[in-house]
Chains A and B, each alone.
Chain A
Amino acid sequence: MKKFLMQAAWPLAVFVVVITAWDLCCRGFAIPAYVLPPPSAVVRVVLERHHTLWNAFCITALEAGGGYLLSIIGGVVIALFFAQSPLIRRSLYPYTILLQTVPIVAIAPLILMWFGSGLRSVMLVAFVICLFPIIANTTQGLISVPRNLIDLFIMSNASRSRLLLKLRLPHALPHLFVGLRISAGISVIGAVTGELFASSNAVGEGGLGYSITYANSQLQTDYLFALVLTASLLGFLFFFTVAALEWLCLRKWHESAMKIDAD
């Protein structure tokens, strides 16, 4: 516990210094609040509008989480398919890289056009952006099983399904978690970006991204700050949930589980 406090002390000190400097800047240079609101104003707006903030948080969490879960299912299924043969990988892998290289802001308007605005479309944007890290890492894990282990299973006359269930999948698990950790953070980016284009604008249905554009247009910079902080909090939450899950699954046998704090 003492060690934990010591570890928390330094980031906390940085936090205090940054907040103080921020506050001093606002006062010292007399910066108008619509350019840079002081920390106290951000805290005030969080307290005042916690209800709408919470509402937006929940909507974005649902969109990001939904897209994320779909990308896990889709990504693992695609990776299983890719693991079947090098020919399949050679033919299709270049196209999955497109998922990574095409900017999401270019795809989002298309999704809006095809599927209309609303939660489903935003989820789809998050899904697209999360998919590649999961496909790439899981495929890598499935195909990198040491030759001797496969021979061992062959010597035991193990069926293909047993080979998959008892060897390839457990071996791929640490790789899958690498993909999951990368995608956890960017799922929120995907949802927020998606909302900029495809969010429903009905009252009470806009998430953090939608609220950000709204706050921006109204020059409510303090609220904008609160929204951005909330969005990053959501990303953190996703990331640490996955990291905790990873630790639970791998701590007994995988080397990486011991070093998770250092990542």
Chain B
Amino acid sequence: MPQPPFIILDSVTKRWSNGATVLDGISLQAERGEFISLIGPSGCGKSTLLRLLAGLSGLSSGSVSLDGMLPESAREIMSFIFQDATLLPWRTVRSNVELGLELEGKTTESQRRKTSTALLQLVGLSDVADLHPRQLSGGMRMRVSIARALATRPKILLMDEPFGALDEMTRDFLNEEVLRLRENDQFTTFFVTHSVAEAVFLSTRILVLRAKPGQIAREIPVPFTFPRTADLRSAPEFLRLVGEVSAALRAVQVPSNPSNPGHL
């Protein structure tokens, strides 16, 4: 018997209580280990889609299956990385990394310590383990956030524009870091971003969404093999694909019309 796809979305629709349709009939399947980027104009519902997958928001119609489970039941195999680092300022870096494990309550303190030590080493933050978040730079905070998400060894990683607020150098560096971490742990990722280059560099597949209502406009596979290195960014076929995705994105941009500002 063939295995059903790891993740199945079937005509997922989300309407706000005022009747506005945010997502309209999103259907999609994903296999284990895929890295899927969601890109589109603001208001296309890409962050909402992520929240639906996380079970933080309910569907209006359609269905979501994550490894055969509903979103609410699949939380144990999922981690969410937010736009800001969302660290608890009163906890040390180490203690922040251990938070997810601590809340799950299935591990002993020494096990958590072992996990956090390994992860901090992995993201290069061993030296700052005992500092508090406010003593770190934005990029370092995001690395703590990533380490925290990976601490529970998730099978599904949901990332909502995690590097949007960082400068380009830090962003590139963290992109490479995400790929490196992905080599260790084959998590399946949904990644919301505004950066075409970032999407092409990281993904196995890019979904371009259009807004009002949010629908999948195009699906663009990214053929580059892993492991990918920083050199990829200057390869001609990389730049060609960036151009293609950019064109697809331009095609779905609603031309702005000052006399008729789109309602929210």
Binding site for B on A (CB under 8 A): 146, 148-149, 151-158, 162, 166-167, 170, 173, 252-255
A selection of 14 A-B contacts at a CB cut-off of 8 Å is A151-B80, A152-B82, A154-B56, A155-B56, A155-B80, A156-B103, A157-B75, A157-B104, A158-B103, A167-B88, A252-B90, A252-B132, A253-B90, A253-B91
Binding site secondary structure of chain B? mixed
Q: Enumerate the 7 nearest inter-chain pairs by beta-carbon distance, A residue then B residue, closest first.
A: A156-B103, A253-B132, A158-B103, A148-B86, A253-B90, A148-B82, A253-B89
Whether, in the assembled complex, B76 has its beta carbon less than 8 Å from a beta carbon of chain A, the answer is yes
Whether, in the assembled complex, B54 has its beta carbon less than 8 Å from a beta carbon of chain A, the answer is yes
Which size bracket describes the interface of B in this complex?
20 to 34
Chain A residues with CB under 8 A of B144: none
Alpha-carbon distance between A162 and B132 when the two chains are bound, in angstroms: 21
A170: nearest chain-B partner, CB-CB:
B90
B99: nearest chain-A partner, CB-CB:
A156
Chain B residues with CB under 8 A of A255: 134
Q: How many A-B residue pairs have CB under 8 A?
A: 54
A167: nearest chain-B partner, CB-CB:
B88
A173: nearest chain-B partner, CB-CB:
B90
When the two chains form the complex, which single residue of A154, A170, A253 contacts B134, counting CB atoms closer than 8 Å? A253
Most buried by B among A153, A156, A170, A255: A156
Alpha-carbon distance between A143 and B28 when the two chains are bound, in angstroms: 38
State whether A157 touches B90 (Cβ < 8 A).
no
Whether, in the assembled complex, B213 has its beta carbon less than 8 Å from a beta carbon of chain A, the answer is no
B100: nearest chain-A partner, CB-CB:
A156
Chain A residues with CB under 8 A of B176: none
Chain B residues with CB under 8 A of A155: 54, 56, 75, 78-80
State whether A149 touches B88 (Cβ < 8 A).
yes
State whether A146 touches B99 (Cβ < 8 A).
no
Whether, in the assembled complex, B84 has its beta carbon less than 8 Å from a beta carbon of chain A, the answer is yes
Query: Taking the nearest CB of chain A, how far is it from the CB of B148, in angstroms?
Result: 9
Alpha-carbon distance between A253 and B89 when the two chains are bound, in angstroms: 6
Chain B residues with CB under 8 A of A158: 103
Query: Taking the nearest CB of chain B, how far is it from the CB of A53, in angstroms?
Result: 42
Alpha-carbon distance between A167 and B88 when the two chains are bound, in angstroms: 8
State whether B103 touches A162 (Cβ < 8 A).
yes
A250: nearest chain-B partner, CB-CB:
B90
Chain A residues with CB under 8 A of B80: 151-152, 155
State whether A166 touches B103 (Cβ < 8 A).
yes
State whether A153 touches B103 (Cβ < 8 A).
yes
Q: Which residues of B (7-33) have their CB < 8 Å from a CB of A?
A: none
Chain B residues with CB under 8 A of A166: 88, 102-103
When the two chains form the complex, which single residue of A152, A157, A162, A254 contacts B76, counting CB atoms closer than 8 Å? A157
Chain A residues with CB under 8 A of B152: 156
State whether A156 touches B104 (Cβ < 8 A).
yes
State whether B89 touches A254 (Cβ < 8 A).
yes
Query: Taking the nearest CB of chain A, how far is it from the CB of B78, in angstroms?
Result: 7
Q: Which residues of B (88-106) have their CB < 8 Å from a CB of A?
A: 88-91, 99-100, 102-104
Most buried by B among A154, A155, A173, A252: A155
Query: Taking the nearest CB of chain B, how far is it from the CB of A261, in angstroms?
Result: 19
Alpha-carbon distance between A253 and B78 when the two chains are bound, in angstroms: 29
State whether A152 touches B132 (Cβ < 8 A).
no
Chain A residues with CB under 8 A of B103: 153, 156-158, 162, 166
